[in-house]
Structure 1
Amino acid sequence: MSYRWLLTYLFGASPIAEANYFKKGDKLTHPVRSLRQSKKYGFGSNFTPDYTDVESYFARIKRAVAKKEIYTAAQFHGPVRFKGDNVENLATDGIKYLKPRMLDLDPTSYVGIRTGTLRFIRLLASYFIMSPTLNKSEVSEALAVADKRNEIVALEDPTKKSRLSEAAIALIEHLKVYVDLIQAGPEYQELIEDMQYRVKIPMLQVLV
């Protein structure tokens, strides 16, 4: 969640839309990385979820329904959704799986996503699972910063260097060390090098 902006940078693939998609006077002046992942132009809910823990997640959605911010729990379209048999029973029955919604369909793959993308997400998940956790008091602020960063990246010109390129390179360098540490194999080393090139050379994002 804190680094979903990096996924938007690397895999964003919705740069334009038809003129009737935009409100009057709100049309973009240049292509962007991801309209879909932008809070302003995308399909996200108009409220901020609480990912502190499962109980807080459900309580926040329940309040949103009560306040008519959304009509039903199913209408929540955050970057990640906790999935179980019933959202109301998540706290007691547990989560069966997580549903990430922070990826655009890849137009270069007939199934909408490449193997390398899946490997990178799995590597990121593994890295953060092994990293120190945030204190509960830090979660809201960290996610607010993540939202702002994701909006910046999503609406940047994809042919130009990102304002967050240095932060992206720093994380990728940590991932390099992690790949060596866990002996993930040459396919992951190649993957990390590829992602690093794509951050350093913005046009690779357009040509991939």
Structure 2
Amino acid sequence: MIKLFKERKIDYAFQIANNSVVQKINHFSDYQIMEEDIDALAKKISEENKINPIEVDYESREGKLVNENVSGMKFPQGYDINPNESMVCAKAVYTFKVSGNLELFSFQPKNMTFNKNVEASINNTYLNIEHQTFSQKPLREDKISEVKESIKETIDLMKKIIPVINSEVVEYNKTLEGKAKEILKKRKEQIESELNQDDDINDF
């Protein structure tokens, strides 16, 4: 389970991509660095490490009610249940088809906060969003309305925050080629320096 758009700052995803760039360059041989075109290598590395923006197919939404054993400690005040007890309650689970770098669903962008605590999970190419009720099935009409209003609110918030995340991802991706090129140039300079030292010790 993840807390939708609340697990980590998006900079964490960017740092992982940066580290991947460094690791790939470290795996290149000295021969590759010296003989291959630096610009072409940088472009290839940046393409391989770009973060794919996320998309949600809202029209694919499917909702169902399932039973969930809920601890009495999780019930809001006013419910007649002991904290040491539990009750089987209805939980609404909505499923959406999604694409892109799905880890982004757990990251918080720099320029917006997701102002709702939403439990979610990723299953292959599907995002599951949960809404726990504290009532047993079958739900009354007013409880059904609460579930529907909650998911509508969540969808509206998603439609606002996902473009912000994707915009930050696109801007980050634009920096990748330059970063890779800079690291490659430094590596090449280091190799050249070492080769020059080999020449120096033989110059007598």
Asked if these proteins are the same fold (TM beyond 0.5), I'd say no
Structure number with the bigger relative contact order (C-alpha 8 A, sep ≥ 6) is: 2
Bigger Rg over Cα: 2
Structure with the larger strand share: 2
TM-score, length basis structure 2: 0.28
TM-score, length basis structure 1: 0.28
